[in-house]
């Protein structure tokens, strides 16, 4: 089941407060507070509890939290926006160690199932140094086993991703500006959003290639985003079931330019066609992430705080 040696046997099952969604009933009306928030959420329209049509990709979402990641408000907003906008049947967070004495973690456990993983020190005799590479392999294993959507933990949802789930598989890539229909020109495929059915052959090929090159220098960056594009272009006919979307619809601003999203002087709308924003937590940590706390929402009035204030307030008002 877990050929790279990952051990999920340490799973404690659902969090202390169960997920509001089950296989039989994707919404549990027993949560009066959640029901109130869903009924007042502007993203849900007049009917807060619609009947969901079946999808090819399971309406379940997966996040990974491996040490030394410090769980913060951004991560809590990722779970909260996913919960209220996507309305998934289940959100699972995979951890090697649960955050301790962390108010945000304690609050969002109401929305998630926690799966504990044991990270192997060696895979096929090769030591894994980077947590990022461990997370890269883990996300592929999770989707091969379960299907669903993997999201990076710094992804904040802007609009429902449900329509994406009606494809056999969906990824985001840097489509050519002049000829976006020519998928032979893509150079990367993002691994920040991956939507697949269980046992997908593309994921198995991707995982196998990474394992073949574990000892190579630079395997983490190459295997994460360049390799899947190379696999796709090697045999586009074989992988023609992949729906490849424009990367801007997943991550509308680049890691080196957050644009007007955090500019208090900008009063317009942004990213109306995007499903989410990706906050590049490794690259924008010192410039952006470190400042996004409760005081930031109380002190600033910009596109970011206006767009996510209702979810911040949900978190603020929740009991741990």
Tokens of 65: 């939290």
**What are the strands, taking DSSP E only, across 192-237?**
193-196
Question: Is 24 part of any domain?
Answer: no
User: Is 98 among the domain residues?
Assistant: yes
Mean pLDDT, contiguous 10-residue spans, the chain (320 residues): 42 39 34 40 46 82 91 96 98 96 96 90 78 88 97 96 97 87 92 97 96 84 94 96 95 78 88 92 67 90 94 93
Considering the domain boundaries, does residue 199 fall inside one?
Answer: yes
312 located within any domain: yes
Helix then strand count (H, E) for the chain reads: 9, 11
Q: Which residues contact 320 (CB under 8 A, 6 or more apart)?
A: 103, 106, 107
Radius of gyration in angstroms for the set of CA atoms belonging to the chain, rounded to a whole number: 19
Task: Tell whether 229 is covered by a domain.
Answer: yes
| Residue 289, pLDDT score | 72
Does a structural domain hold residue 152? yes
Domain membership of residue 188 as a residue range: 32-317
Q: Are 94 and 138 in contact (CB under 8 A)?
A: yes
Predicted local distance difference test score (pLDDT) of residue 111: 97
Residue 145 CB contacts under 8 Å (≥ 6 apart), including other chains: 1, 2, 198
CATH number for the domain harbouring residue 90: 3.90.550.10
Query: What is the torsion angle, in degrees rounded to the nearest 10, for the CA atoms of residue 84, residue 104, residue 307 and residue 278?
Result: -90
Would residue 22 count as lying in a domain? no
The helix-helix angle for 131-146 and 201-212 (nearest 10°) equals: 150
Bridge partners (DSSP) of residue 122 are 127
- State the pLDDT at residue 186: 94
Q: So what's the pLDDT on residue 143?
A: 98
* Closest to 20 measured CA to CA, from 6, 34, 1, 7: 34
CA distance 34 to 8: 30
What is the value of pTM for the model shown? Answer: 0.83
Q: CA-CA distance, 227 to 40, in Å (whole number)?
A: 43
Q: How far is CA 33 from CA 30, 36, 39, 40, 86, in A?
A: 9, 5, 10, 11, 18
- 122 CB-contact burial (10 Å; exposed 0-12 / middle 13-18 / buried 19+): exposed
What is the domain count for the chain? 1
Domain for residue 16, yes or no? no
């Amino acid at each position: 089941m877990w050929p790279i040696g990952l051990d999920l046997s340490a799973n404690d099952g659902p969090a202390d407060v169960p997920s509001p969604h089950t296989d039989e009933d994707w919404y549990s009306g027993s949560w009066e507070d959640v029901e109130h928030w869903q009924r007042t959420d502007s993203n849900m329209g007049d009917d807060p509890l619609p009947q969901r049509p079946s999808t090819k990709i399971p309406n379940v979402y997966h996040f990974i939290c491996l040490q030394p990641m410090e769980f913060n408000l951004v991560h809590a907003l990722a779970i909260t926006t996913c919960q209220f906008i996507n309305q998934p049947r289940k959100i699972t967070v995979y951890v090697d160690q649960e955050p301790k004495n962390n108010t945000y973690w304690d609050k969002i456990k109401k929305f998630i199932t926690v799966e504990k993983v044991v990270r192997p020190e060696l895979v096929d005799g090769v030591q894994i140094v980077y947590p990022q590479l461990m997370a890269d392999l883990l996300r592929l294993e999770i989707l091969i086993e379960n299907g669903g959507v993997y999201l990076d933990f710094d992804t904040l949802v802007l609009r429902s991703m449900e329509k994406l789930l009606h494809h056999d598989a969906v990824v985001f890539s840097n489509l050519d500006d002049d000829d976006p229909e020519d998928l032979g020109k893509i150079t990367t495929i993002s691994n920040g959003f991956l939507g697949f059915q269980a046992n997908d052959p593309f994921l198995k090929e991707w995982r196998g290639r990474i394992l073949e090159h574990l000892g190579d220098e630079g395997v983490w960056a190459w295997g994460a985003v360049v390799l899947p594009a190379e696999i796709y272009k090697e045999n586009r006919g074989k992988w023609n079931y992949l729906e490849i979307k424009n990367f801007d619809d997943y991550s509308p601003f680049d890691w080196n330019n957050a644009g007007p999203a955090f500019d208090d002087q900008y009063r317009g709308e942004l990213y109306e066609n995007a499903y989410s924003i990706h906050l590049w937590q490794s690259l924008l940590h010192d410039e952006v992430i470190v400042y996004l706390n409760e005081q930031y929402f109380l002190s600033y009035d910009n596109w970011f705080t206006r767009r996510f204030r209702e979810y911040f307030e949900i978190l603020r008002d929740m009991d741990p």
